[in-house]
C-alpha cells in the first residue's frame, strides 16, 4: 500500500497548466488520470460547477498535502486549520477576486462571522476566515479521497517482488516454469500445456506464445498473515520478471 504522502504527491503532480485560445491559463487534470482523482476533484467542487479558481485551490491543496509528509489521515486532519492559513492569499484584492468568482462563496464569510463573532474585526478578516473555511473543506475532501484510495495505488516497495532478472534473457520462461507440477499449475490458474511448453525451453515452437499465456493468466494467492490480508498477485515482465499485486494499478513510468 502506498503512503499517504505518496498518493498526495501523485494527485498534485496530475495537475497541469493549460492555455486557452485567448491566452488565459488554467489548471486541469492530465488526460488519463485515474478515475478516483477525477472523482476527488468533482467532490472538492462541492456546490460549484467546474471553474478555474476552484481548480486552482484544489491543486494548491493537493500540493500542500504532498509537501507536508503526513504519515496518515489523522495527522493530516490535525493540520487542517494551519494548512488553510498557508493557502490563504496574502492580498485583499486576491481574496475579493476569489469571492467574486462565485456568489455562493459569500456564505463561507457568513458562517465565519457566526462562528468567530467579535474576533472578526474587519471585512478583510471576514474574507480571510471565509476563504480558510472553503480551503479547509477542500482539504478535508482530498484527505478522505487520498486515504480511501491509497490501498489501490502502486507502491514498488510493498506491491512488487523481483523473481528473475533480465540477465537470464530468453530462459526466464523456462526457469520460472521449472518445477511447477500439474497440480501447482492448476492452483496458479495456468494452462498445463503452456507450462510444459516453457519447461522444454526456447527451442520449443510455441515457447513465446505459451509464455504470454502464462503472463496473462497467472494468479498467485498469498495467504493472510498477522500483518497482511490474503492477496492475489500477477506476473509482469519488463525485462526482469516481477510478481505484482493484482489490486493495484501499475503506473506506465514503472513499466517503461
CA dist 132 and 137 (Å) reads: 8
pLDDT reported for residue 158: 84
Residue of 103 and 20 predicted with greater confidence:
20
User: What does the pLDDT look like over 203-236, one tens digit per residue?
Assistant: 999 999 999 999 999 999 988 776 677 889 999 9
User: What does the pLDDT look like over 163-172, one tens digit per residue?
Assistant: 999 999 999 9
Task: Report whether 132 contacts 88 (CB < 8 A).
Answer: yes
User: What does the pLDDT look like over 16-46, one tens digit per residue?
Assistant: 999 999 999 999 999 988 899 999 999 999 8
User: What are phi and psi for residue 179, nearest 5 degrees?
Assistant: 85, -5
Percent of the chain with pLDDT over 90: 61
Least confident of 38-47, 138-147, 151-160: 151-160
pLDDT reported for residue 106: 82
Identify the residue whose cell numbers are 526457469. Answer: 175
**Predicted structure pTM score:** 0.70
pLDDT reported for residue 84: 94
CA dist 165 and 201 (Å) reads: 17
pLDDT reported for residue 121: 67
Identify the residue whose cell numbers are 464569510. Answer: 109
CA dist 59 and 55 (Å) reads: 6
Model confidence at 156, pLDDT cuts 50, 70, 90, reads: confident
Amino acid at each position: 500500500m502506498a503512503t499517504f504522502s505518496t498518493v498526495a504527491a501523485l494527485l498534485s503532480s496530475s495537475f497541469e497548466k493549460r492555455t486557452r485560445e485567448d491566452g488565459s491559463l488554467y489548471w486541469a487534470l492530465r488526460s488519463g488520470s485515474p478515475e478516483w482523482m477525477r472523482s476527488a476533484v468533482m467532490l472538492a467542487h462541492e456546490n460549484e460547477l467546474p471553474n478555474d479558481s476552484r481548480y486552482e485551490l484544489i491543486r494548491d491543496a493537493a500540493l500542500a498535502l504532498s509537501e507536508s509528509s503526513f504519515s496518515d489521515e489523522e495527522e493530516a486532519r490535525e493540520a487542517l486549520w494551519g494548512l488553510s492559513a498557508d493557502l490563504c492569499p496574502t492580498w485583499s484584492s486576491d481574496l475579493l477576486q476569489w469571492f467574486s468568482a462565485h456568489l455562493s462563496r459569500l456564505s463561507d464569510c457568513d458562517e465565519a462571522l457566526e462562528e468567530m463573532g467579535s474576533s472578526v474585526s474587519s471585512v478583510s478578516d471576514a474574507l480571510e476566515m471565509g476563504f480558510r473555511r472553503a480551503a479547509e473543506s477542500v482539504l478535508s475532501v482530498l484527505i478522505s479521497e487520498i486515504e480511501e484510495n491509497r490501498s489501490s495505488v502502486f507502491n514498488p516497495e510493498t506491491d512488487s517482488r523481483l523473481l528473475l532478472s533480465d540477465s537470464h534473457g530468453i530462459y526466464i520462461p523456462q526457469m520460472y516454469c521449472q518445477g511447477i507440477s500439474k497440480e501447482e499449475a492448476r492452483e496458479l490458474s495456468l494452462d498445463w500445456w503452456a507450462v510444459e511448453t516453457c519447461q522444454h525451453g526456447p527451442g520449443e515452437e510455441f515457447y513465446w506464445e505459451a509464455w504470454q499465456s502464462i503472463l496473462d493468466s497467472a494468479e498467485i494467492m498469498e495467504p493472510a498473515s498477522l500483518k497482511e490480508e490474503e492477496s492475489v498477485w500477477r506476473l509482469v515482465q519488463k525485462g526482469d520478471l516481477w510478481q505484482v499485486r493484482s489490486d493495484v494499478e501499475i503506473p506506465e513510468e514503472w513499466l517503461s
